[in-house]
Amino acid sequence: MRPVRTALAGALLGTLVLAGCGQTGTSASPSATPATSAPATASGDFPVTVEAGNGAVTLTKKPERIVSLSATHTETLFAIGAGPQVVAVDDRSNFPPEAPKTDLSGFKPNVEAIVAQKPDLVILSDDLDKVVAELGKVNVPVLLQPAATKLDEAYEEITEIGAATGNKAKADEVVAGMKTAMEKLAAEAPKDKRFTYYHELDQTPYAATSKTFIGQVYAMFGLTNVADKAPDAAGGYPKLSAEFVAQADPDLIFLADVKCCQQSKETLAKRPGWAGLSAIKNDQVVLLDDDLASRWGPRVVQLAESIGAAVAKAGTS
């Protein structure tokens, strides 16, 4: 059985970007219901029971009209072959392009609008406005999968969504591929040099520490997170001062606020005391894809690839 987890740590990533830039790749927030989850039923046959954030969810038959209110879970559904079963996704679900995007919102869920899609399964990352209970009143099955706080939880959610949708074999294949790719990237990381880094969530600036999901990905490459020493680092997502970052002078700066907040090496250089930072002078400011940096689904491998490439480049300079 996996540990009890909440959306507090993982969801702050998406919530802070939403607040700072008006855009996010997740549909989770600190208020999500804790999850106590056990491994999903091994068989893809129905009925199947999955332990999710809203408890044990039993599906008597394979769902054919799935509504996803989470950009991360939309990506997962299509990656595991459940795309043909998806009839509607929320307004933040922009990948893959063929996902049936609507004006449904995971942040401000409208039960009436969701029910109008005639779903036989709704998958979401957060129980905002008690949407889980409200959908339960009209007998709509709901699978609440909160933001992952570590890689193992991300893998587990993919497996569980696979079981719940009748695509467990493909989900297992996706997870196995992710693990292999991540292990390979970690093994290829330079061992002779250790770099410090700063990961920016938004230009406020909020950062992510090593205790977070994103921090675990960076740790694969032996990087040291300067935000770990911030005064309020305990929560995982401290708001740093410009002076703190300037004093820390990280070797690498990763920006996850490129699309939402138009941040770049040039904008960083205009911040007080930042023009002389090593990462800026040495051209070690890495522009990440905002979506990849805020979702914990199958494309986390692409995020890791971006980080690995940056570390490799730094190791040769």
Q: 85 phi and psi, to 5 degrees? A: -90, -10
- Strand ranges (E), the chain: 48-52, 55-59, 66-68, 86-89, 121-124, 142-144, 196-202, 206-207, 224-225, 252-255, 285-287
Instruction: Give DSSP secondary structure letters for 59-94.
Output: ESS--SSEEE--HHHHHHHHHTT-GGGEEEE-TT--
Strand, helix or coil for residue 188: helix
**By C-alpha distance, which of 86, 92, 135, 144 is closest to 114?**
135
Cis-peptide, bond into residue 109, ω within 30° of zero: no
Question: In which band, very low, low, confident or very high, does the pLDDT at 192 lie, cut at 50, 70 and 90?
Answer: confident
Q: How confident is the model at residue 71 (pLDDT cuts 50, 70, 90)?
A: very high
The pLDDT value recorded for residue 213 is 94
Confidence band of 191 (pLDDT split at 50, 70, 90) = confident
The pTM score is 0.86
Judge contact between 277 and 253, C-beta under 8 A: yes
Summarised one tens digit per residue, pLDDT across range 17-50 is 443 443 333 333 223 333 333 344 444 489 999 9
The answer to whether domain 8-180 and domain 189-316 are alike in fold is yes
Residue type, 301: V
Which of 22, 26, 24, 21 lies closest to 261, judged by CA?
21
Domain 189-316 annotated CATH 3.40.50.1980: yes
Q: Is there a contact between 210 and 216 (Cβ–Cβ < 8 Å)?
A: yes
pLDDT in tens, 85-142: 999 999 999 999 999 999 999 999 999 999 999 999 999 999 999 999 999 999 999 9
> Average pLDDT over the chain, rounded to whole?
88
Q: Percentage of the chain surpassing pLDDT 90?
A: 82
What's the CA angle centered on 38, arms 34 and 40, to 5 degrees?
120
The architecture CATH gives domain 8-180: 3-Layer(aba) Sandwich (3.40)
Residues present in the chain in total: 317
Give residue 190's pLDDT: 85
- Extents of the domains making up the chain: 8-180, 189-316
3-class DSSP state of 135: helix
Q: What pLDDT, on the 0 to 100 scale, is given for residue 94?
A: 97
